[in-house]
Copies of this chain bind each other. A is one copy, B any other.
Amino acid sequence: MSRYLDDFAVGQVYRSSDRKRVTPDEIKQFAREFDPQPFHTDEAAARGTFFGGLAASGWHTAAMTMRLLVDSEFKAANGLVGAGFDELRWPHPVRPGDELRVETEVIEVRASKSRPEIGFVKFRMRTLNQDDVEVQVGICNLVVPTRVGA
C-alpha cells in the first residue's frame, strides 16, 4: 500500500506480521563484521562479561528490527526513510533463540514548513521478544511524501 502523509494518524498501531528467530550463528556473524566484542562473538568468553552470556549487538537488534518493519504493512509511498531517532535504547539483551517482533505507534504527524512535498511522521517503535519484554525502544522520525508531491 502506498501511504501518503495524510494517511497517517496519531494512535495508529502497526505490528510486524513475521517474527524473527535469532540464532547464535547470526549473532556471532554480525558481530564479527561490525561489533567484534567477546560478549557478541563467543559464548564462553561472554560468560565473564557484563552480559553474562552471548547477546546480540544492539546494532544487530536494530537491523533485525528494520527488516521486520520493511516486511510489514508499515510503509509510506517512498518506502521507509528514517530522518533519525529522538531516542533509542536497548533495555534488555537479545539472546540466542529469542523471537523478535515489532510494534509501532504513530505519535505525531506534521507537514514540512519549507517543503510542501514531504512531511514527518513520528512513531514509537518497540521490539519485543517472545516473553513480550522490550529489547529495543525508540522514537523515530520518518520522511513521508505528501500527495502534493505525488
Chain B residues within an 8 Å CB radius of A38:
79
Identity of the chain B residue whose Cβ is nearest the Cβ of A30 in the assembled complex: B63
Q: Does A105 contact B (CB under 8 A)?
A: no
Instruction: Count residues of chain A with CB under 8 A from any CB of chain B.
Output: 35
Q: Does A81 contact B (CB under 8 A)?
A: yes
Decide: A59 and B63 in contact? CB cutoff 8 A.
Answer: yes
Decide: B88 and A37 in contact? CB cutoff 8 A.
Answer: no
17 A-B contacts (beta carbon < 8 Å): A33-B63, A34-B63, A34-B66, A35-B67, A37-B70, A37-B79, A38-B79, A39-B79, A49-B79, A57-B63, A58-B82, A59-B59, A59-B63, A60-B63, A83-B90, A84-B89, A85-B89
